[in-house]
């Protein structure tokens, strides 16, 4: 009996040591539980996007999320908007950020290199849990989360609902996002449907992102050139419909709006002054309700303000991430 017990103990020691070696951990529960990323072959970009590195995937909440990671410095995680894969982040925005941060970009579930589970209803809170899960899976620390459009809603939801696993959330930058509820000034009727329709989505997105001014059109031309320089991920009609449904449900819910006062991480709210999809009144309302939030309105810009004013936006994110107070 004693020999059997010692044999079992020896076997347990061997199994634990093997698990630690496989994860690069020291035997702690956190290290053993961290999933192992998988390299996606043939995803190393060339040309303008070469600095972003290849795609890896990692298991989070029953799906696998595809991501790229590059740069050096404190952690910065960027969350894309409705209908947008990570390939839509332009190199001319990412490069200045990569000089100051270790940047992680990723596809929300069902987009690009990330898998989906159609049996699970898609929602903004679910994507917030995915984002918190990715932060934990990659071991990111004191993370500045930059969310654009729906990505801003995801970031705000993480902080407002104190999503489990978001303890490594250091700061939030929400750009062109809102908090849902009847207090939100809605986008024009039919806009979400146009963005979710492959036949009209490109034209609708460009009209939403850039104003018809000379500066706006110059920014649009630069964006289109960047878009063509990086292979773009094509989302399926099914995930576009699921994201549209998630956005509509978010607009109808008061859950996040009612919890804005519970946000305790430093928050920067940015918005384009001319944004028709997320009118600037929403940004001002968020800044009033989130304790200590900063507000930055980009004059002459629309929903694509971070692409129209890439250098200014990157510099503002750097300053905010380095600040020690709200």
What pTM, to 2 d.p., does this model score?
A: 0.87
Q: Give the count of alpha carbons within 13 A of 255, CB side only.
A: 15
Triad 270, 184, 196: Cα angle to 5°: 85
Give the total residue count for the chain: 326
Tens digit of pLDDT at every position of the chain (326 positions)? 333 333 333 333 333 333 333 333 333 344 446 889 999 999 999 999 999 999 999 999 999 999 999 999 999 999 999 889 999 999 999 999 999 999 999 999 999 999 999 999 999 999 999 999 999 999 999 999 999 999 999 999 999 999 876 678 999 999 999 999 999 887 777 776 777 676 667 788 898 899 999 999 999 999 999 999 999 999 999 999 999 999 999 999 999 999 999 999 999 999 999 999 899 999 999 999 999 999 999 999 999 999 999 999 999 999 999 986 54
CATH architecture of 37-322: 3-Layer(aba) Sandwich (3.40)
- Whether residue 169 contacts residue 79, with contact meaning beta carbons closer than 8 Å, is answered with no
Residue 202 three-state SS: helix
Eight-class DSSP state of 115 = -
Identify the three-state secondary structure at position 211.
coil
Report CA torsion sign: 180, 183, 187, 192: positive
Contact 286, 174 (CB under 8 A): yes
Contacts for 277 with CB less than 8 Å, ≥ 6 apart:
149, 176, 187, 188, 191, 208, 303
Structure tokens at 257: 């709006």
DSSP string covering 230-289: SPPP---HHHHHHHHHHHHHHHH--HHHHTGGG--S-EEEEEETT-SSS-HHHHHHHHHH
Helix (H, G, I), strand (E, B) or coil at 299: coil
Can you tell me the distance from the alpha carbon of 63 to that of 114, in angstroms, rounded to the nearest whole number? 7
């Amino acid at each position: 009996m004693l020999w059997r017990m010692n044999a079992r103990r020896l076997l347990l020691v061997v199994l634990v040591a093997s698990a630690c070696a496989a994860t690069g951990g020291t035997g702690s529960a956190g290290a053993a539980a961290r999933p192992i990323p998988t390299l996606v072959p043939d995803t190393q970009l060339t040309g303008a996007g070469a600095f972003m590195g290849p795609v890896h995937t990692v298991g989070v909440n029953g799906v696998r999320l595809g991501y790229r990671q590059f740069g050096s410095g404190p952690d910065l995680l960027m969350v894309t908007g409705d209908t947008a894969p990570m390939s839509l982040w332009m190199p001319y925005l990412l490069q200045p950020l990569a000089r100051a941060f270790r940047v992680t970009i990723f596809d929300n579930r069902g987009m690009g290199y990330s898998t989906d589970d159609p049996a699970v209803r898609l929602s903004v809170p679910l994507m917030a849990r995915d984002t918190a899960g990715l932060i934990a899976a990659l071991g990111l620390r004191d993370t500045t989360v930059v969310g654009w459009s729906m990505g801003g809603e995801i970031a705000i939801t993480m902080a407002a609902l104190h999503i489990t696993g978001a303890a490594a959330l250091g700061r939030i930058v929400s750009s062109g996002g809102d908090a849902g509820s009847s207090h939100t000034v809605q986008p024009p009727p039919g806009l979400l449907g146009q963005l979710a329709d492959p036949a009209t989505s490109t034209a609708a997105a460009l009209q939403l992102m850039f104003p018809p001014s000379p500066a706006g059109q110059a920014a649009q031309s630069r964006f289109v050139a960047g878009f063509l320089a990086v292979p773009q991920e094509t989302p399926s009609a099914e995930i576009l419909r699921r994201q549209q449904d998630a956005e509509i449900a978010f607009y109808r819910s008061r859950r996040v709006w009612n919890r804005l006062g519970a946000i305790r991480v430093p928050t920067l709210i940015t918005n384009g002054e001319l944004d028709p999809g997320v009118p600037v009144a929403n940004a001002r309302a968020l800044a009033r309700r989130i304790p200590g939030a900063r507000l930055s309105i980009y004059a002459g810009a629309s929903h694509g303000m971070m692409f129209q004013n890439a250098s200014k936006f990157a510099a503002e994110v750097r300053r905010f991430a380095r600040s020690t107070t709200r």
